[in-house]
Structure 1
Amino acid sequence: MPPKKYTLPSELPDGWILTDSEKKKWRIGKIIGRGGFGLIYLASGDVHVPVRDDTDFVIKVEYHENGPLFSELKFYQRAAKPDTMNKWKKSKCLEFLGIPTYGGSGLSEYKETRYRFMVMDRLGTDLQKVIEENGGQLRKPTVLRLGVVMLDVLEYIHDNEYVHADIKAANLLLGHQDPNKVYLADYGLSYRYCPNGQHKEYKENPKKGHNGTIEYTSIDAHKGVVPSRRGDLEELGYCLLHWQCGTLPWRSFLRNPAEVQDSKAKLMSNLPDSVTSMSTSGSSTEEIARFLLYVKGLSYNEKPDYQFLKKVLSGPGLQGPLDLSRPRTSGTSRPATQRIGLLAVLEVKRSEIWEIYTVVTIL
C-alpha cells in the first residue's frame, strides 16, 4: 500500500515566529512545498526582517499528532548529527555526503492548534521533475553517478542503524546553491532496523504487505517484512533501471500490488537477462543487472559491500558537472545486440563478498 496520507495543516501567517527546542527563533516566509504530511516554508534566523526568496533555510510544519515528521526528527537526532556525519565522511575520505543538514526543531501553537516543525537546509528541485522534463529518462552516465552518490548515503544511514525505505526520484533533491550535488531527503518512513546492534528478524506479515511506493518497494516489503539494508538497495536498483530505461516491467499494472510483486519476483529470478533485455540501442543496462544480481544474493540481515557496488556502477561520466540533459536517441529504441550469455557467481570466503563475473557474447 502507498505511504499513509495525513491531513495537511492549516497555513501559518507569513512572518510567524517559531522558537525551537534550543530557544533559537526562526521567521517563516512563503510556502514553497506541500507534501503528504505537511507544508514547507522558506525560513530565516533573522526574525527582524521579511524572509528573502534566496534564503538558505526551510521549515517543515505538520500537525502535532501526525507521524512522519516525528519519525524524520528521530532519524536526524539519533543518526544524522553534523559532527557524526563529518567524522564518518573523514573516515571514508569523502568530500560530500548527500544528507540534508538538520537545523533545529520544536513545537508551536497557533489558534489553539499545536504544530511540530523542523528546520532544514534549503534544497533545489527534485529529480522527478527533472526526469519528467527530459521525457522520462536520464543519460546512462548520470544514472550510474546518481547510484554511486546514493550508495554513500545508504552506507552512512545503514551504519547508523537506519534504513530509508522510500527511495525514489521525488525524494532526491538537487542542491539549492550547487545543482551538481544530490541529496536523499524525506526520512518520514525511515526505520531503525538494527536498534542497539540487534537486527530485526525476518518475519512476513500479509496485513502489512505492499508497503511503500509501489513502483520501487522491495519484494520483502510486498510480503510485509520490515525494511532492511537489502530492501534499500533493491529499491535503488529499480530506480536506476527506471531512470535509464524510462519504464519498468510492472508500470502498466501499478493498481494491482500482487501483480507488481510477481513481476518483480520474475525480474529478479531471471537476472541478468531480464534487465539486459531492457537495454536500448547504445545504452546497455549491464551494470544495473550486475547490481541487482548482487542484491539478490544478499541475505536479509547481511551487511552489503558498498565499495564493491560502487565499482559495479563506476564508469565514464562520474566526474565533472552532473549532466541532467535529455538522453540522445538514435532512431527507434530496440533491444541492444549484447546480452550476458554466461554468468558465474563466485562466493569468496574472505569478507563473504560476492564477486560477479560476466562473459559477454555477441549475438
Structure 2
Amino acid sequence: MNRLLTLLFALGLLAGPTFGLTADNPSDPAPAEYTFRFVAGDDMFYIPWNGNGEELDRLLACIAQNKAAITEGSVPVLVDGYCTSQPSEAENLALAKTRSNRVKTEMILRGGLTEECFTTKNHADKGNFVTVRLVIPATPSEAELAARRAAEKAEAERLEAAKRAEEERLAAERAAAEERRRAEEEARRAAEEAAAAAAAPAAEEPEESECCAMGLDLRANLLRWATLTPDLGLEWHISDRWSLGVGGSWTSWSWNNKQRRYALWEVAPEVRYYMGKARRGYLGLMFKTGAFNYKFSETGRQGDLLGGGLTGGYILPLGKRLSLDFSLGLGYLNADYEKYTVIDGVRVRHGSETRDWWGPVHAGITLKWNLF
C-alpha cells in the first residue's frame, strides 16, 4: 500500500506542470481545452484525483453555456485518448479508447450530450490522459461586426441591383416580343388585305361581264311579249357606268271581222347610270314616242303619244351572258287621238281628244343577252 501511495504521489508531481497549462484560475473563464489524467495501466476515471474534478466542473460549465450550439453541430466536441503504459500499440489504443469512453460517459450523463456530439480519436503515445476540446468560435469585435454588417449590406444591395437588372432585362425582352408580335400581326393583316385586294377584281369580273360590262346587249321586254306585242332593243355600254339604249315595240291585231283592233308602235331611247360596286342597280332617263289604234268596244281610239320620265331598275344575272332587267319608269305621257266607229267596214270619225298622264310610263321584265 505504501508503494502504491508513493507511486501516485510521484505521478502527481510529474503531472503538475502539465496540468497547470490547461487548468486556469477558477475565476477565469472556462478554457476551450480540458485534460483528464489516468493512472498508468488503469482505465478507471478517478474524478477527485489529480485535479480531474475541477477540470470536469469547468468542462460541464462550458457545455452548459454552449449546449444549443453543440447539439446543433456548430460547436464540435473533440475527444482524444492517449495511452503508453501497455506493452503493445494495439493494447495502448484499446485502453485509450476505454478511457475516452469514460470521459464521454460523464459528459453524456452530467452534461446532457449524445454520442453524435463527439469526434473521438485514440493514440498510443504522449502519456496516459484524455483531452476534450470545444471549438468555440471567437466572439467578433465591434469592428469585425461592423465590417460584416457592411459586407452583408453590400451583398444585399448587389443582389437587389442584380434582381432589378434581371427584371428590367425580362421587361425589355417582353416588350420586344410584344413589338415583334404586333409587327407580325400587322404584316399578316397587310398581307391578307393585299391578297383580298388582288382577288377582288377577279371575283368581280363575272359580275361586270354579266351586268354592265362594256359591250352591246340585245334586249326583249317579256311583259310586252306576254301581251302579244313583240319588243326588241339594244343597249350599248359606253363605259363601266354609262350606257345608251333604244327599244321598240310593234303589233297589229284585228278580229271579229275587224270590229275589234289592237295596233301599236313605240320607240323609246334611254340613257342609264349604273351604281354600286357590282353595278347591278341603275337610274335612267327615257324618252318615248309612238302611235296606237285601240278598238275594244263600239268606239275606237287612234292617235299619237309622246312623253318620258325617270327610270330605275335592278339587274339579276342568270349566267355569263344572260340576265334579267327589272325596270320601272315614272313620268309624263301625252295622248292626242281621234274617236271613231266602223260602219259597213268604213271608219267614221266622232271627234278628237287629248289626254295627259302623270304616273307610271314604263314597266318591264327584260331578258338581256350580251352579244360581245
Alignment TM-score, normalising by the size of structure 1: 0.21
- Larger % of helix: which? 2
Alignment TM-score, normalising by the size of structure 2: 0.21
- Larger % of strand: which? 2
